[in-house]
């Protein structure tokens, strides 16, 4: 079978590709396990090449219909993981681009999957930014009303509804993973309003200061990148009949504050004899205003009931990052 990963040049996309190469197979449209013969990575740019002969990298814009259709192709034995997206901070500043990439790009991916004419499985990476406003709960569940208060969240919510409707009509077998903030992302900070969530771990672990734009007591749902990758694959494997009429599944997450992050880092540093950089208050009302409209906690009980994994303890997530990206 063939697998498409949009956003395949990004952090999660490249991690997912490696996981699928190791796994070697997925459930195909037939409902039986099928060997993965090719993985197509579609992204605007790639920072490194993949040497595995099963992987093909395509540089292109998902807002261009012809690019997406050419990447997806016409083989009914295809699965799609749609991860490509502009991030939250960018979407607030560039409304028209957000609609073009996140919304029109999503429609292109879904229409290409529909054109395969079978029951291709499509996994869409959504976000807890779909929640917002006065209807939020503590914790939010899969039954909480979607009332996003950011452009990013709005585009994700619309794509969730499209996945539901395409699945209802039998165009493809879709499922949406509603992601909490994913930590710890390596590299430099990006334009996501949640970038501080990785930065408050990543920079201190590197002995550098982290400029914290939100309040120290700010609660936010977070999970590890390994768990997210495992969850995307597990969600793909869930039989369609188990979803009912709602294909969007919120992933479980820890309720984390910068205070808790600092305490956990200090505990780990004492165990390992590490020197930490400081977390420095650098309040940014724009970032805080965006984060104020996001959930403080989520209930991933439905995901767990479907067989998706729970995140490990916070200290273990940090240890995974050190093992994977900071070898001694």
DSSP string, 153-172: HHHHHHHHHHHHHHHHTTS-
**pLDDT more than 70, % of the chain:** 100
pLDDT at 273: 94
The answer to whether residue 121 scores a pLDDT higher than 80 is yes
pLDDT at 328: 67
Q: What is the DSSP letter of 103?
A: I
Averaged pLDDT of the chain: 96
What CA–CA distance (Å, rounded) separates 120 from 306?
20
| Residue 132, C-beta contacts closer than 8 angstroms, at least 6 positions apart | 147, 148, 149, 150, 153, 293, 294
List, for residues 217-241, the tens digit of each pLDDT value: 999 999 999 999 999 999 999 999 9
**Angle in degrees, CA 46, 60, 120, rounded to 5:** 100
165-182: average pLDDT: 97
Instruction: Please indicate, yes or no, whether the overall pTM of this predicted structure exceeds 0.75.
Output: yes
pLDDT at 313: 97
The answer to whether residue 120 scores a pLDDT higher than 90 is yes
Homologous superfamily (CATH) of 2-180+223-252+298-311 is: NAD(P)-binding Rossmann-like Domain (3.40.50.720)
pLDDT at 189: 84
Residue 211 near residue 128 (C-beta atoms within 8 A)? no
Q: Which of 46-50, 55-59, 102-106, 242-246 has the lowest mean pLDDT?
A: 46-50
The answer to whether residue 131 scores a pLDDT higher than 80 is yes
67-75: average pLDDT: 97
Give the residue numbers marked as catalytic. 152
Burial of 217 (0-12, 13-18, 19+ CB in 10 A): exposed
pLDDT at 30: 84
Would you list the domain boundaries of the chain? 2-180+223-252+298-311
Distance of CA 18 to the CA centre of its chain: 16
């Amino acid at each position: 079978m063939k697998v498409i990963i949009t956003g395949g040049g990004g952090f999660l996309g490249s991690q997912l590709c490696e996981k699928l190469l190791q796994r070697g197979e997925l459930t195909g449209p037939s409902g039986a396990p099928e060997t993965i013969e090719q993985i197509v990575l579609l992204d605007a740019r790639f920072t490194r090449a993949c040497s595995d002969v099963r992987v093909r990298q395509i540089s292109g814009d998902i807002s261009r219909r012809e690019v997406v259709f050419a990447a997806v192709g016409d083989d009914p034995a295809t699965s799609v993981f749609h991860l490509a997206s502009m991030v939250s901070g960018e979407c607030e500043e560039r409304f028209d681009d957000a609609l073009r990439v996140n919304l029109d790009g999503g429609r292109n991916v879904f229409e290409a999957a529909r054109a395969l004419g079978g029951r291709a499985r499509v996994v869409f990476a959504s976000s807890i930014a779909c929640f917002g406003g006065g209807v939020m709960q503590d914790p939010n569940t899969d039954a909480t009303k979607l009332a996003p208060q950011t452009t990013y969240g709005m585009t994700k919510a619309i794509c969730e509804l499209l996945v539901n409707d395409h699945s209802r009509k039998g165009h493809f077998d879709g499922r949406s993973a509603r992601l909490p903030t994913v930590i710890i992302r390596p590299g430099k900070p990006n334009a996501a309003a949640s970038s501080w969530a990785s930065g408050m771990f990543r920079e201190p672990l590197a002995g550098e200061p982290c400029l914290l734009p939100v309040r120290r007591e700010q609660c936010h749902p977070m999970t590890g990148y390994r768990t997210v990758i495992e969850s995307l694959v597990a969600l793909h494997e869930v039989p369609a009949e188990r979803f009912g009429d709602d294909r969007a599944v919120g992933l479980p997450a820890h309720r984390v504050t910068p205070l808790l992050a600092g305490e956990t880092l200090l505990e780990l540093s004492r165990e390992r004899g590490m020197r930490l950089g400081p977390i420095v208050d650098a309040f940014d009302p724009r970032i805080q205003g965006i984060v104020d409209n996001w959930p403080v906690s989520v209930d991933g009980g439905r995901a767990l009931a479907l067989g998706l994994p729970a995140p490990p303890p916070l200290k273990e997530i940090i240890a995974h990052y050190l093992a994977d990206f900071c070898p001694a």
